[in-house]
Amino acid sequence: MKKIAVVQGAPGARVQDLFRGLAQRWQASGRLAGVIAEDHDLPDRACSAGYLRSLSSGERFAMFQDLGPGSTGCHLASDGVLAAAAAVRRDVAGGCDLVMLSKFGKLEAGGSGLRDAFGAAIEAGTPLLTSVSAACFAAWEAFAAPLFTVVPADADRIDAWWRSVRQPM
């Protein structure tokens, strides 16, 4: 089984909820690194980007620039995503059993965002769980093929992948 699993087949919010549930289940039996997306919970905002929450420290990194209520624009805050990537790289260097990264998206496809965190996990040979939208899949393939397998957005199937690649404690 390949050490990188890409979850597809569900909206991003559902995948992030799935990742949160799996992380809670797995944290008791392994060292997790990575970040999972969370909503900003701000009313009347056009921008759906929120935060990335660190699985190791709980720290939140903003992915958006708040343009205020009623704003029709959305601006990704790449500095927050880059700070999250640096934290993940430190966690990978310190040793972990699994890296969970919310998604490989527009920033990563363009060579920024969490791309260095993805690279650190791959270079370390650490199992990696992520999601990739259809719009960014060609860029993902150029970055990570043939190292990954696609897994449906199903907790049991993802858990089966994790059991198959997990190193014995």
Q: What are phi and psi of 8, to 5 degrees?
A: -140, 165
pLDDT of residue 12: 87
Give every strand in the sheet of 148-152, ordered side by side. 60-62, 51-54, 32-38, 98-101, 128-131, 4-8, 148-152
Confidence of residue 91 (pLDDT cuts 50, 70, 90): very high
pTM: 0.90
**Tokens at residue 111, please?**
């060579």
Ranking 14-28, 46-60, 114-128, 135-149 by mean pLDDT, the lowest is: 46-60
Kindly report, residue by residue over 92-131, the tens digit of the pLDDT: 999 999 999 999 998 899 999 999 999 999 999 999 999 9
What is the signed CA dihedral for 112, 113, 118, 124, rounded to 10 degrees? Answer: 80
